[in-house]
Amino acid sequence: MRFRLIMLLGVLALAGGSVTLAQEGTALRAITDVTFIGWVTGPESPSRTDVAYDVDGTDLGSMFALGDTLYIAFGDTFGCCRPPGGGAGGRNWRNNVLAYTTDTDLEDGITLDGMITDHNGDARAVLRRLRDDITVIPTYGIAIGERLILHYMAVKEWGPPGEWTLNRSGLAYSDDGGETWEQPADATWQGDTNFGQAALILQDDYLYIFGIHGGRFGGVALGRVPAESALSMDEYRYWDGEDWVEGHENAVVIASAPVGELSVAWNEYLGRWIMTYLNEYRRAIVLREAPELTGPWSRPVLVVSGDDYPSLYGAYLHPWASDGDVITFNMSQWGPYNVRLMQARLVANE
């Protein structure tokens, strides 16, 4: 048995990418063949977003679908010309922008059909900030019926690297394909709660929200609400480890810290839910699996290392390409300050 395991690891190492030993009781044996497909945004993207939409630099890129249209939500966005040393900055700052595409051939990257634009054709912010907000950033989206919903965080203050606080987080909605958005004042979590950033899942007529605080060092909590009541905060219930209860403060941590910019999807190949996120301490994108949304969630395993992609963050699973043995996701890098489309291969236990 030991000889067979050594041989397997050798084969995977030759195939390239990461190699991960299986954990007891899990479906995943290894992750390998980590591949950069292409830039989603910026001067090297197939859509030339710098020329077409004045998007020279942006980040995040969480994805959600309505019918045959995939929406991609980005964070703070800048036109030309960004700082010579890399990172955020430049002219025409927008707190957020939203793209859409019907491209299903991901082998050559993502080609955008368009972005929500202003009268000049430049990508414009779809979510507004209030006076005391430094910025308002969409962290995840979902479609419920014909309605688009974005979860957002309103940043109060940037702290040391990987740390920030929030004025609030909340839900915005659009009934016209993303052109205009409403941000109800009562559809919010006030302050810096464990639902400051989120991943959203529709399952069995419920909207599930996986939440973390502002920043990248907290653990994951879980809430849910009947899908038709997604904007009614009084209808939310939170997992306390045994049952669904009132009060977000009663939610327990279901996936341990440190967690930044998370994404969740069902993976049919493994027969498990998978969660991807940034582990700031490891400087890596990692993956966990679980048989149920409530867990138990496995220990994190390496997907992409910061040794290969310095200053990486924000691994968002592609909703049309996350259920097989190959998963596809958007990943940001601070230096280039743009979004990469990545792939990785999952190897299941026999």
pLDDT given for residue 23 in this prediction = 80
pLDDT given for residue 350 in this prediction = 85
Output the 3-class SS for 302-335: EEEECCCCCCEEEEEECCCCCCCCEEEEEEEECC
Kindly tell me if the per-residue pLDDT of 249 is higher than 90.
yes
pLDDT given for residue 214 in this prediction = 98
Kindly tell me if the per-residue pLDDT of 139 is higher than 80.
yes
pLDDT given for residue 2 in this prediction = 35
Domain boundaries, the chain: 18-348
pLDDT given for residue 14 in this prediction = 36
Q: Is 107 helix (H, G, I), strand (E, B) or coil?
A: helix
pLDDT given for residue 16 in this prediction = 44
Which of 140, 113, 111, 116 lies closest to 126 in space, CA to CA? 116
Class in CATH terms, 18-348: mainly beta
pLDDT given for residue 25 in this prediction = 86
Kindly tell me if the per-residue pLDDT of 166 is higher than 70.
yes
Kindly tell me if the per-residue pLDDT of 232 is higher than 80.
yes
Kindly tell me if the per-residue pLDDT of 95 is higher than 50.
yes
Kindly tell me if the per-residue pLDDT of 11 is higher than 50.
no
Q: Which amino acid is at 117?
A: T
pLDDT given for residue 17 in this prediction = 54
Kindly tell me if the per-residue pLDDT of 15 is higher than 80.
no
Q: Is 138 helix (H, G, I), strand (E, B) or coil?
A: strand
Please say whether the beta carbons of 295 and 221 come within 8 A. Answer: no
Q: What is the DSSP letter of 211?
A: E
Please write the tens of the pLDDT for every residue from 305-341.
999 999 999 999 999 999 999 999 999 999 999 999 9
Q: What is the mean pLDDT of residues 274-298?
A: 98
Kindly tell me if the per-residue pLDDT of 1 is higher than 50.
no
Q: What is the DSSP letter of 94?
A: B
